[in-house]
């Protein structure tokens, strides 16, 4: 990769060589298979790698798509069930090559899961496990409390959160929860997954998430409160992690971070118990300590960056959904009716009960309750079930009226839109699990198709996955390592109609449809940054698809 600091002829000028858009990973033999064509045509054909026609058919006019500005025709080749490598042709246009087979998602599933290993902080990545993307130890020096510079703490470890080298409790807890719920719901796909990470002895996903959990527990103070984040005062320049030697600080306790730690440690305690009872007990104690802190501190203790700090804030308007998640997980783990009373009381506050992101975690709390083995209040259970069902039904209607088949409205293409895309796919997957609604599988697959190339830019938004893919994310080690091919498995933020950084505003013309407001360039943090909580819902969805 060009080592100049944001070269003046960057990668955003790359345009897809394809005029027909498909999932570049591929399709299962028995799945729905749809190509999207933003031009008028009547007929299409699917050819194999030798150019032989293996399927042909008529296109269907899907109509004008507001989010992309395209008039879209679709080519349904679900009837092609033979395995192999193919492309779609119509008029003088062609698609990227794709596969049809039983294991089409395994490679991208492994890459998006191993991405967390490449984001480890506090250790070096050795060549045996990291290949050409290895690097030295980073961020191992003791950190100072921002409000008491004489106090030092060991907060080494965890995952770098995003394109920067900060680590944030609420974001980390959310990402870990996506992964642990994926393991809980689809364990068979993880039990056979081999990522090539240093640890052994349990499924690799649990080894990887443990690396984050150990750091999260270091962020708990002696009273049970949890420090909000560990970062330097200012974002690092675009250097390798071991070259970022600025002072690390630990920032004040927030009630959101405390609640999220209680929740994730409770969830993890039950999952790790069969594999490591001592670690499970450590998690249980940490969860209980933070849950007790929440009861002693019913007031909202938020967070905003103090003067002199410009790293991620991860502030929230309140902590209602965070507390609800914490009490739901504690009840699911212990069966203690005190926690049941607290989670029911938390429902008096107004927050979404299917939200699965770091800013609102009500969906994680509802999922904890629905999946738990403890006695349930039927009215509460039905409330949560109905919310998930209604959410899926609403999204189906939106997806059916979208030219590209996804439940994304034009105003939802904001910063991190690919996270929104994957969280919607998660909702469909969860509905399939809760209600055995197999129609949800097709809708979840549509969203994954879109992420992997069936979109109006014809680009796969996952590094290392697909014939035409993003390769220049806003990610410091990917820029600084001097290697042209990006670290694989990183999910880019995606289209953002808000054009929320100077580079995006410079290169994307005003009035561009929101689904096309994207640039594959390191300089654009609002379009092309990566984060752990954009990768984690993608892993969840891929685990669901691979667990068919």
Cβ(522)–Cβ(10) below 8 Å: yes
CA dihedral for 516, 517, 523, 525, sign (positive or negative) = negative
- Concerning whether 474 is annotated as a catalytic residue, the answer is yes
Q: For residues 110 and 382, give the distance between their C-alpha atoms in angstroms, rounded to a whole number.
A: 36
Compute CA 547 distance to the chain's CA centroid, rounded to the nearest angstrom.
18
Q: 520: which residues sit within 8 A by CB, 6+ positions away?
A: 11, 12, 14, 459, 470, 471, 472, 473, 492, 528
Q: 515: which residues sit within 8 A by CB, 6+ positions away?
A: 65, 67, 68, 69, 404, 408, 410, 413, 455, 456, 457, 495
Rounded to 10 degrees, what is the CA torsion of 255, 361, 108, 522?
A: -60
Other CB atoms closer than 10 Å to residue 78's CB: what's the count? Answer: 14
Other CB atoms closer than 10 Å to residue 142's CB: what's the count? Answer: 13
Q: For residues 98 and 49, give the distance between their C-alpha atoms in angstroms, rounded to a whole number.
A: 10
Q: For residues 346 and 350, give the distance between their C-alpha atoms in angstroms, rounded to a whole number.
A: 9
Tell me the Cα Rg of the chain: 23
- Concerning whether 520 is annotated as a catalytic residue, the answer is yes
Q: Single out the catalytic residue among 70, 110, 161, 164.
A: 164
- Concerning whether 7 is annotated as a catalytic residue, the answer is no
Contacts 24+ apart (CB under 8 A), 289-292: 289/220, 289/224, 290/220, 290/224, 290/225, 290/226, 290/258, 290/259, 290/261, 290/262, 290/265, 290/326, 291/224, 291/262, 291/266, 291/326, 291/327, 291/330, 291/339, 292/224
Task: Of 21, 65, 58, give the one whose Cα is nearest residue 403.
Answer: 65
What Å distances lie between residue 180 and 94, 192, 205, 207, CA to CA?
40, 16, 8, 11
What Å distances lie between residue 354 and 173, 181, 214, 370, CA to CA?
17, 14, 28, 12
Q: Single out the catalytic residue among 135, 228, 340, 474.
A: 474
- Concerning whether 377 is annotated as a catalytic residue, the answer is no
SS3 199: coil
Q: Single out the catalytic residue among 110, 204, 360, 529.
A: 529
Q: Single out the catalytic residue among 65, 449, 520, 521.
A: 520
DSSP 173: H
**Size (the chain), residues:** 548
Q: Which residues participate in catalysis according to the annotation? A: 164, 474, 520, 529
């Amino acid at each position: 990769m060009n080592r100049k600091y944001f070269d003046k002829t960057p990668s955003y000028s790359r345009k897809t060589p394809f005029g027909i858009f498909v999932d570049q990973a591929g399709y299962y033999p028995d799945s729905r298979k749809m190509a999207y064509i933003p031009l008028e045509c009547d007929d299409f054909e699917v050819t194999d790698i030798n150019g032989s026609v293996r399927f042909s058919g008529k296109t269907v006019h899907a109509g004008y798509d507001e989010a992309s500005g395209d008039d879209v025709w679709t080519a349904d080749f679900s009837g092609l069930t033979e395995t192999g490598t193919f492309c779609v042709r119509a008029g003088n246009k062609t698609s990227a090559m794709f596969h049809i087979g039983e294991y089409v998602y395994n490679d991208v599933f492994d890459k998006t899961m191993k991405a967390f290993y490449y984001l480890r902080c506090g250790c070096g990545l050795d060549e045996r496990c990291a290949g050409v993307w290895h690097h030295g130890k980073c961020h191992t020096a003791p950190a100072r409390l921002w409000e008491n510079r004489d106090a030092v703490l060991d907060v080494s470890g965890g995952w770098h959160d995003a394109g920067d080298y900060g680590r944030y409790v609420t974001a980390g807890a959310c990402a870990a929860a996506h992964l642990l719920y994926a393991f809980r719901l689809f364990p068979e796909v993880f039990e056979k997954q081999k990522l090539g990470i240093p640890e052994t002895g349990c499924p690799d996903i649990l080894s990887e998430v443990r690396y984050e959990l150990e750091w999260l527990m270091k962020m708990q103070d002696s009273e049970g409160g949890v420090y909000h984040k560990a970062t330097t005062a200012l974002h690092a320049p675009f250097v390798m992690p071991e070259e970022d030697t600025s002072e690390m600080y630990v920032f004040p306790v927030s009630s959101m971070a405390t609640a999220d730690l209680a929740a994730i440690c409770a969830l993890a305690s039950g999952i790790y118990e069969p594999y490591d009872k001592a670690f499970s007990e450590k998690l249980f104690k940490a969860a209980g300590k933070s849950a007790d802190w929440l009861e002693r501190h019913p007031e909202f203790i938020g967070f905003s960056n103090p003067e002199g700090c410009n790293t991620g804030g991860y502030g929230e308007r309140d902590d209602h959904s965070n507390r609800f998640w914490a009490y739901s997980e504690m009840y699911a783990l212990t069966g203690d009716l005190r926690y049941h009373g607290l989670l029911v009381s938390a429902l008096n506050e107004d927050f979404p009960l299917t939200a699965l992101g770091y800013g609102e975690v009500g969906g994680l709390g509802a999922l904890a309750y629905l999946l738990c083995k403890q006695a349930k209040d039927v009215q509460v259970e039905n409330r949560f079930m109905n919310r998930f069902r209604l959410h899926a039904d609403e999204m189906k209607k939106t997806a059916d009226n979208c030219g590209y088949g996804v439940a994304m409205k034009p105003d939802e293409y904001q910063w991190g839109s690919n996270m929104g895309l994957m969280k919607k796919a998660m909702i469909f997957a969860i509905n399939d699990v809760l209600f055995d609604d197999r129609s949800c599988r097709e809708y979840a697959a549509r969203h994954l198709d879109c992420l992997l190339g069936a979109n109006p830019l014809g680009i796969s938004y996952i590094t290392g996955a697909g014939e035409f893919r993003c390769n220049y994310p806003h990610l410091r080690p990917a820029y600084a390592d001097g290697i042209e091919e990006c670290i694989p498995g990183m999910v880019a933020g995606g289209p953002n109609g808000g054009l929320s950084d100077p580079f995006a505003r410079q290169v994307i013309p005003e009035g561009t449809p929101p689904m096309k407001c994207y640039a594959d360039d390191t300089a654009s943090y609002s379009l092309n940054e990566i984060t752990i909580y954009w990768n984690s819902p993608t892993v969840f969805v891929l685990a669901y698809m691979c667990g068919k």
